[in-house]
Amino acid sequence: MADDGNGPASAMKADLETITSLAKQRGFVFPSAEIYGGFAATYDYGPLGVEMRRNIRESWWQWMVQGRDDVVGIEGAIITNPDVWRASGHVDAFTDPLVDCLQCNARVRADHIVDGVCPSCGTKDRFTEERDFNLLLRTSVGPVADEGAIAYLRPETAQGMFVNFENVLNSTRRRLPFGIAQIGKSFRNEITTQQFIFRTREFEQMEMEFFCHPENALDWFAYWREERMRWYQSIGVRAEHLRFRDHDEDERSHYSSATTDIEVHYPWGWSELEGVAYRGNYDLTVHQEHSGKSLSYFDQQAEEHIIPHVVEPAVGVDRVMLTLLMDAYDEDEVAGEKRVVMRFAPNIAPVAVGVLPLSRNDKLLPTARRVHDVLRPHFRTWYDDAQSIGRRYRRQDEIGTPLCVTVDFETIDDDAVTIRDRDTTEQIRVPISGLVEALRGRLHELQPAVDDPAPIPERS
Ligand code: ATP
């Protein structure tokens, strides 16, 4: 977690406090159950937050599943047979090293301590011995809460793909290589939970397990590393805020021969946004052993049964959202006044087009409503007629709306409106009859350019 000293101070323009406060004021993220004093490391998403999360999920799903012919999706249960977590090793070994500060009794993740300083009280080098703390969140299922009823809230979505490997294979008649993807909530009893929605106990993951032959698994690993970076380009994260970091051998799980993190330069230093891991055939092998069911694949070319190898890109929706909020934040000056502007890409912005009558004048409102009705089926729109037009532009800038349509008194005569661009604040006049096309074209132009894809590894 700590900055490893590589690279300059964060290029992000906002600190965490600024983003947390903007997110609450504008309706992106609220502390959960705030009227009861909140709940540690738990957040609720507001009206703009949910729109943004839907955009993140939809973009990921389009990129990873619907836009390809070699990946399919599933939705597994959050609470499933606890044997899954015994087999995967989570029950015994899903632990973080925990220490207590002897000064203030704060519980801290040992690997998150920088220079021996307690992050809670600042005391140096006064901690208990390290012990393992299991991160699984337990619950009980059924009317009798005895040992036999213990179940777990899933700590990752990945195991859902492994335990359904055979079902997907048989129901879709897939051949290797192919992937299974899933988006869904996961739960971990995290020890350290500062930094807003970066690390929470309930979070949402977007994971894909790509099953392939062992001979070209490393080629697929290289391919998915690039492909995942391209997705971040496609949702507008600036290149200078991102980097790859390959794990050293001693950092990797014993079964992984290659893991790369895609890291972000947050205000507190470079930290993991996404992990891309080559997991060998570890997961299918342990599930085969524990379940007693064959999870092998018959390779027709080689005429032999193999256990496929797996490459896994895994990321959290919440962490992508935090990254986008931080990355998009900008301040500039318009007509001598400071403004805050969120420079979201059009496919991520909660609102794509704001519809603003110049004033609340009765002559304008019916036309403004009509324009809104024309646009609503095509774009994520927001109609706003409260306060002065200048303040409404500022509000749309602050929530990252790329384009605003203004209905003024001339509209009544010429049936034309003004499109105002968030980034340049330039305005152009467009007839209402061509408005949908004009907006679509402009939003398309504003979408960030993306590098060409890496070549697909040769299929064996
Ligand atoms: P860390 O070492 O930071 O605890 P991890 O390496 O255990 O994370 P993974 O198990 O690889 O994380 O999870 C995949 C992705 O899921 C992470 O890259 C992150 O985007 C997201 N994620 C994991 N834990 C959390 C959490 N507690 N809150 C929010 N997102 C999370």
Instruction: Please write the tens of the pLDDT for every residue from 343-370.
Output: 999 999 999 999 999 999 999 999 999 9
d(CA 315, CA 340): 28
pLDDT-derived band at 305 (thresholds 50, 70, 90) equals: very high
pLDDT of 1 higher than 80: no
pLDDT beyond 60 at 45: yes
**59-101: per-residue pLDDT in tens?**
999 999 999 999 999 999 999 999 999 999 999 989 888 999 9
pLDDT digits (tens, 9 = 90+) for 399-442: 999 999 999 999 999 999 999 999 999 999 999 999 999 999 99
Dihedral sign (CA 109, 112, 116, 117): negative
Atom of ligand 1 nearest to the CA of 193: 27
Would you state the torsion angle of the CA atoms of residues 359, 360, 362, 366, taken in this order, to the nearest 10 degrees?
A: 90
pLDDT in tens, 162-200: 999 999 999 999 999 999 999 999 999 998 777 999 999
Is the distance from CB of 140 to CB of 149 less than 8 angstroms?
yes
Q: How confident is the model at residue 142 (pLDDT cuts 50, 70, 90)?
A: confident
Please state which of the ranges 10-14, 180-184, 235-239 shows the lowest mean pLDDT. 10-14
Tell me what pLDDT residue 255 has. 78
Spatial distance between the Cα atoms of 206 and 282, rounded to a whole number of angstroms: 21
Higher confidence at residue 196 or residue 302?
Answer: 196
> 416 CA distance to ligand 1 centroid (A)?
49
What mean pLDDT is predicted for residues 43-56? Answer: 98
- What rounded mean pLDDT belongs to the chain? 93
Ligand 1 mutation target, pool 319, 320, 321, 323, most atoms within 8 A of CB:
319
Return the higher-pLDDT residue of 114 and 314: 314
- What pLDDT was estimated at residue 251? 85
Ligand 1 atom showing the smallest separation from residue 261 Cα: 18
Q: Which residues, listed in sequence order, are joined to residue 202 by a DSSP beta bridge?
A: 187
Single pTM value for the model:
0.94
Alpha carbon of 380 to ligand 1 centroid (Å): 30
Q: Residue 193 Cα, ligand 1 centroid: separation in angstroms?
A: 12
Pocket test for ligand 1, best of 29, 185, 191, 205 (most atoms within 8 A of CB): 205
| Ligand 1 neighbours by CB, cut-off 6 Å | 156, 188, 190, 199-200, 203, 205, 272-275, 314-316, 318-319
| Ligand 1 atom with minimal separation from the 188 CA | 27
Region of 39 on the Ramachandran plot (φ > 0 left; ψ -120 to 50 alpha; else beta)? beta
The number of the ligand 1 atom at minimal distance from the alpha carbon of 314 is: 14
CA angle 217, 219, 222 (to 5 degrees): 110
Whether residue 3 is predicted with pLDDT greater than 60 in this model: the reply is no
Whether the predicted pLDDT of 8 surpasses 80: no
The band of 2, judged by pLDDT with boundaries at 50, 70 and 90, is: very low
| Listed residue (40, 3, 41, 47) closest to 25, CA to CA | 47
Least reliable range by pLDDT among 29-33, 142-146, 210-214: 142-146
Q: How high is the pLDDT of residue 293?
A: 96
Spell 198-207 as b/e; 16+ CB within 10 A means b.
bbbbbbbbbb
- Return all residues near 250 (Cβ < 8 A) that are at least 6 apart: none
Q: Are 438 and 419 in contact (CB under 8 A)?
A: yes
In Å, what is the CA distance from 45 to each residue of 17, 143, 204, 235? 17, 33, 12, 20
Average pLDDT over residues 390-403: 96
Q: What is the pLDDT of residues 254-287, one digit of tens each?
A: 778 899 999 999 999 999 999 999 999 999 999 9
Whether residue 72 contacts residue 179, with contact meaning beta carbons closer than 8 Å, is answered with yes
Percent of the chain with pLDDT over 70: 97
The 10 Å Cβ neighbour count of residue 259 is 20
Q: For residue 315, report the distance from its CA to the centre of ligand 1, in Å.
A: 7
Q: How many whole angstroms from 199 Cα to the centroid of ligand 1?
A: 7
Please give the share of the chain, as a percent, with pLDDT higher than 90: 85
The CA-atom distances, in angstroms, between 163 and each of 17, 285, 293, 347, 358 are 41, 11, 10, 33, 57
Going by alpha carbons, the residue nearest to atom 2 of ligand 1 is: 272
* Lowest mean pLDDT across 95-109, 300-314, 384-398, 427-441: 95-109
The residue whose CA is least distant from atom 21 of ligand 1 is 316
**Of 137, 199, 207, which is best to mutate to test ligand 1, by the most ligand atoms within 8 angstroms of its C-beta?**
199
Tokens of 445: 């132009």
Taking each continuous run of H as one helix and of E as one strand, the counts in the chain are 13, 23
**pLDDT category of residue 120 using cuts at 50, 70 and 90:** confident
